[in-house]
């Protein structure tokens, strides 16, 4: 659920002309295509129709049920559309003020958003639908379902390592766990501390960084076991909050991005 206030919605609805059920100059078809392209969202999904089927009612419901970063992205996208398609006589001073206020609302909602854009590009490069689904799941659940975000962050590291090892023709016997997968991937990419010459400038710092890098997956697996999805918990287990989920997702995406970038830059042996 977003943190949009009544005052926020009043300004947004005025800018987007939602008073009579419309949203800007969109038809049902074009607004569906717009949200699919700009946000990968099915605007006509049943979950947005609890208050009615008009475009304005669906948008209001989207802002109500989705987390801040989704609401913020939708507002930014609609403002971008409006600015790219201004009226023939241009914007009035009042409209300019409304746009500025709505941009400020969008920026506020997006201020806590994790930037996973580079990781999304990686999923596209590798044509990895499963990876793309995990990124989308983390992005959508980091505020609404922290346990799911933490569990998916751990799964992201597994997918990353398995994808890289498969691309390089490497396989591990049995069902390797996170420590085994991470260790094998770091070794294959020559990211182990032993690969840094002692004479290299800053070798001690690089070795410490690589050692810490190898523990991210292990720590995420332990965190997921305690608080994430995938295991039954004690009935009185205290849940973590979205800020903890952001930490887990941020760590996982940083490691995955670094491993994928290294995989692309270092040729296969």
- Please tell me the predicted confidence (pLDDT) of residue 231: 47
- Please tell me the predicted confidence (pLDDT) of residue 44: 96
From CA 126, how far away is CA 188, in angstroms rounded?
18
Q: Domain residues of the chain, as ranges?
A: 6-110, 117-265
- Angle CA 32–143–1, to nearest 5: 55
Judged by DSSP in three states, 171 sits in: coil
* Buried-exposed string 129-155: b where 16+ CB fall within 10 A, e elsewhere: eebbebbebbbbbbbbbbbbbbbbbbb
The pLDDT profile of the chain, 269 residues, written as one tens digit per residue, is 788 888 899 999 999 999 889 999 999 999 999 999 999 999 999 999 999 999 999 999 999 998 888 899 999 999 999 999 998 888 999 999 999 999 999 988 887 656 677 777 777 776 667 788 888 888 778 777 888 888 888 898 999 999 999 989 988 888 888 888 988 998 888 876 665 566 555 557 766 777 777 788 888 888 877 765 554 444 444 567 777 888 888 888 888 888 888 888 887 76
Question: In sequence order, which residues have a C-beta less than 8 Å from that of residue 252 and are 6 or more positions away?
Answer: 138, 153, 154, 156, 157, 216, 220
Q: What is the pTM of this model?
A: 0.56
């Amino acid at each position: 659920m977003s943190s949009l206030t009544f005052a926020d919605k009043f300004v947004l609805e005025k800018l987007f002309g939602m008073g009579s059920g419309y949203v800007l100059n969109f038809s049902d078809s074009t607004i569906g295509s717009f949200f699919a392209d700009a946000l990968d969202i099915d605007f006509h999904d049943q979950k947005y129709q609890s208050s009615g089927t008009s475009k304005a009612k669906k948008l209001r419901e989207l802002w109500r049920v989705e987390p801040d970063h989704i609401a913020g992205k939708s507002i930014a996208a609609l403002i971008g559309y409006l600015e790219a398609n201004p009226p023939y006589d241009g914007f009035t001073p009042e409209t300019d003020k409304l746009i500025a206020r709505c941009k400020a609302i969008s920026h506020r909602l997006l201020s806590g958003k994790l930037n996973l854009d580079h990781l999304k590009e990686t999923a596209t490069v590798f044509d990895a639908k499963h990876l793309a689904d995990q990124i989308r799941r983390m992005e959508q659940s980091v505020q609404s379902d922290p346990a799911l975000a933490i569990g998916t962050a751990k799964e992201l590291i597994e997918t990353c390592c398995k994808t890289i090892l498969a691309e390089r023709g490497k396989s591990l016997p049995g069902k390797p766990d996170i420590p085994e997968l991470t260790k094998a991937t770091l070794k294959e990419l020559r990211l182990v501390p032993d690969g840094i010459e002692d004479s290299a400038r800053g070798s001690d710092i690089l070795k410490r960084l690589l050692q810490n890098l190898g523990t991210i997956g292990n720590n995420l697996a332990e965190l997921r076991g305690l608080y994430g999805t995938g295991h039954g918990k004690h009935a009185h287990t205290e849940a973590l909050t979205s800020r903890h989920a952001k930490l887990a997702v941020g760590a996982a995406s940083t490691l995955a991005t670094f491993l994928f970038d290294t995989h692309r830059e270092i040729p296969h042996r």
